[in-house]
Structure 1
């Protein structure tokens, strides 16, 4: 049996790249990232000592078995796929993409959906211009590790003026605790295009003794006038650590909508950031999470305004049970020159146990005068008046609290663009809320 990698450097990262037959520039990038991984420190999220986490088991390459039709996918994977017919679907199993499906209609329009590894060889110009530019390999140690070891991944390109009606689906699945599982999603939406992308991350690790590190990244580039809706649902086993850095860069009048269900069962760090570079660009972020057991979580949502007349709205809602701890950060940054910008944020935490903890930290950083910015944050228990009202209508206390919690989380759940995934999300919520 292979032993998961616990250390690597410049030469090992380059060897991985060469084994994949990657172009010379990408070999050099992995090589540089491998070196940085030996030099940089871990990020330092507030009140979350990462040095106690098992973040140095990077795994070994365990490619899945490629298939040519969806019916050949493993049963554990097909069980997670929404029943709706999809014009585009991509599946990663452990360390590699095993299935890609895209309709002839989308191909004729110039839409590209493929693994990121294939894109590095077949679409090098587009890939090289955008890859690891919104999320830099020198941000911290976890970023460097990701840049050095990423595998499989998703590359989506939407040409100018193309509107894709049905959501593009990606399922990233792992059932081998010793596999390197570090997918990277790269979405490029050219000017005046529209697309919805749904990412689902799931695992089936059983009673794995080792810790799986899911160190992932998302980069979205929305060109002038493009609209990108990005929905993500993470639901891995408690033996996995979920690291997810998401970045979007918006040109003039572009829009990003983040809809995120961070419903992982183990420790996690997520950081979702919109860079409003262009004038008139907008960002709308909706994120929910549920903490159970002894989970430790750090969830950060950011909007950085550079363009004039830009708007951002961020909503984060967390439900904390048992002894779970969550640090919820909302950061709105309005740079000098971003006149008429408007940045709003709301963080709300429901506490269902006296031992649970949720910290909501709204942060406004304003370097321009002619702007609007606001925040609201609250941490508390289920509203007693609401419970009393529902009980007065003949509903039990337990059911009343359940209804209130579901209503609390609904602003995100109702926005998931696939009916099957929404229903699956409801089942996850029921299981986590017990």
Structure 2
């Protein structure tokens, strides 16, 4: 079968990738099957966004990387994420382009059975555990983008928290990209066993590059009974990068997933964050923030699917569009038949700071059960010019006035983040985005 015209690499490249990483036979076979499936599948349907017009062939090729043993050997543009000298570097995984280069986990967590490493290493050292969950939340044959990811994924993170273990410190991953010719497709796999607790944070960053590239990331989270996962992710990539990210959590009885996503990307982006509330009493809380400028096209979807009785989902999305940027903000609450006493609430708000900016807020409720509660609120509109003129009359420049309005619009969400360090980090990215 010839796949060169539809997918960005050939079969031999994928086979060579598996050999270079000494992967087990089942994973090598899965990669090849995914590549062949990609040639048969369509692109995902993205509401009101024509991603077929994007350059989706710019995946580059898998490139070898050299591991480092000290933090000061990590590339400088990645180290800059931790501007605070007091930052905790004891629990960090770092990926540079096509592979992981640095990994640290404090000894007491290891003694409790916590596994936190890059996914490539986990495949070799914890094969049975990885095999049980890999591509079980985001199936490789869902659409072409998922299949290409399954064929080419690299680096990534594997996090496992055993039963009844509570991890009090945040575990962090840094994904850095500065070579457009190198494939960059991290896969994050998190398993929180029964009654465990963990906070995980990742950052996607890149150096400025003149060539186009595709970032194709997938996140799979499995929250067992009574467990809680707090997942925070911030994307701040270059304008030439198309960022396509799928995040999905399966939540069992009385489990809880909390999503905090900062879409500070500078290029076109598609982001889908989904909670599958399988268990009774399972809960999801998603807070999404994005800022668009230039001619960016953003499609941000937050979704909760209720199967469990008395399950609860909360969604808040706030987007700011500047200049000629456009966004499609989707909130989807799906309550399946049998999910009695379920509750789903969502709010989407888009603020446009320019007559040429565009933003659509689309709340969607799909209810197949009578004994439930659900609601939504949505708005999309221009900034109140009276507020701008008032501040300008007090000597504030228009640009600074807009920034103040943006901060006031986003801050109610930012302040709900779980800790001050994360709030400070997200504010830093917002300021960088507004400073362009």
> Which range, TM-score by smaller chain?
over 0.9
Query: In the TM superposition, what whole-angstrom CA distance separates every residue of 1:64-122 from its partner, at most 9, and x where no partner exists?
Result: 32111212222222111253224411000111100001001111111101110111111
Cα offset, 1:431, TM superposition:
3.4
Matches within 5 A, 1:12-411: 12-81=13-82, 83=84, 84-206=87-209, 208=210, 210-383=211-384, 396=396, 398=398, 399-411=400-412
Structure 1, 78-87 or 341-350: larger mean CA deviation: 78-87
Cα offset, 1:382, TM superposition:
2.4
Cα offset, 1:10, TM superposition:
4.5
Cα offset, 1:297, TM superposition:
1.1
> Does the C-alpha gap of structure 1 residues 201 and 416 become closer, same or farther in structure 2, counting only changes over 3 Å?
farther
- The DSSP-based 3-state class of the residue aligned with 2:310 is coil
Instruction: Quote the Cα distance in structure 2 between the aligned partners of 1:105 and 1:88.
Output: 11
Instruction: Quote the Cα distance in structure 1 between the aligned partners of 2:94 and 2:31.
Output: 24
Instruction: Quote the Cα distance in structure 2 between the aligned partners of 1:433 and 1:80.
Output: 17
Structure 2 unaligned blocks of 5 or more: 1-5
> Does the C-alpha gap of structure 1 residues 58 and 387 become closer, same or farther in structure 2, counting only changes over 3 Å?
closer
Instruction: Quote the Cα distance in structure 2 between the aligned partners of 1:15 and 1:226.
Output: 39
Cα offset, 1:401, TM superposition:
4.0
In the alignment, is residue 430 of structure 1 matched against residue 431 of structure 2? Answer: yes
Q: State the TM-score, normalizing by the size of structure 2.
A: 0.93
Contact 2:7 2:38 in 1 (8 A): no
Instruction: Quote the Cα distance in structure 2 between the aligned partners of 1:151 and 1:71.
Output: 23
- The DSSP-based 3-state class of the residue aligned with 2:183 is coil
Contact 1:82 1:421 in 2 (8 A): no
Instruction: Quote the Cα distance in structure 2 between the aligned partners of 1:219 and 1:410.
Output: 28
2:3 counterpart residue number? none
- The DSSP-based 3-state class of the residue aligned with 1:13 is helix
Cα offset, 1:418, TM superposition:
6.0
- The root-mean-square deviation of aligned C-alpha atoms, in Å, is 2.0
Cα offset, 1:36, TM superposition:
0.9
Contact 1:64 1:96 in 2 (8 A): yes
- The DSSP-based 3-state class of the residue aligned with 2:154 is coil
Instruction: Quote the Cα distance in structure 2 between the aligned partners of 1:34 and 1:6.
Output: 7
Instruction: Quote the Cα distance in structure 1 between the aligned partners of 2:244 and 2:396.
Output: 39
Cα offset, 1:415, TM superposition:
4.3
Q: State the TM-score, normalizing by the size of structure 1.
A: 0.94
Contact 1:6 1:57 in 2 (8 A): no
Cα offset, 1:125, TM superposition:
1.3
- The DSSP-based 3-state class of the residue aligned with 1:39 is coil
Instruction: Quote the Cα distance in structure 1 between the aligned partners of 2:60 and 2:389.
Output: 51
- The DSSP-based 3-state class of the residue aligned with 1:425 is helix
Cα offset, 1:323, TM superposition:
0.9
Cα offset, 1:381, TM superposition:
2.1
Instruction: Quote the Cα distance in structure 1 between the aligned partners of 2:188 and 2:8.
Output: 25
Q: Which runs of 4+ in 1 moved over 6 A?
A: 388-392
Contact 1:186 1:218 in 2 (8 A): yes
1:413 counterpart residue number? 414
Structure 1 unaligned blocks of 5 or more: none
Instruction: Quote the Cα distance in structure 1 between the aligned partners of 2:195 and 2:83.
Output: 28
Instruction: Quote the Cα distance in structure 1 between the aligned partners of 2:274 and 2:317.
Output: 13
Instruction: Quote the Cα distance in structure 1 between the aligned partners of 2:156 and 2:402.
Output: 40
- The DSSP-based 3-state class of the residue aligned with 1:431 is helix
Instruction: Quote the Cα distance in structure 2 between the aligned partners of 1:252 and 1:287.
Output: 25
Query: In the TM superposition, what whole-angstrom CA distance separates every residue of 1:296-342 from its partner, at most 9, and x where no partner exists?
Result: 11111100000000000111111001111111111100000000000
- The DSSP-based 3-state class of the residue aligned with 2:324 is coil
- The DSSP-based 3-state class of the residue aligned with 2:271 is strand
Contact 1:6 1:58 in 2 (8 A): no
Instruction: Quote the Cα distance in structure 2 between the aligned partners of 1:389 and 1:197.
Output: 42
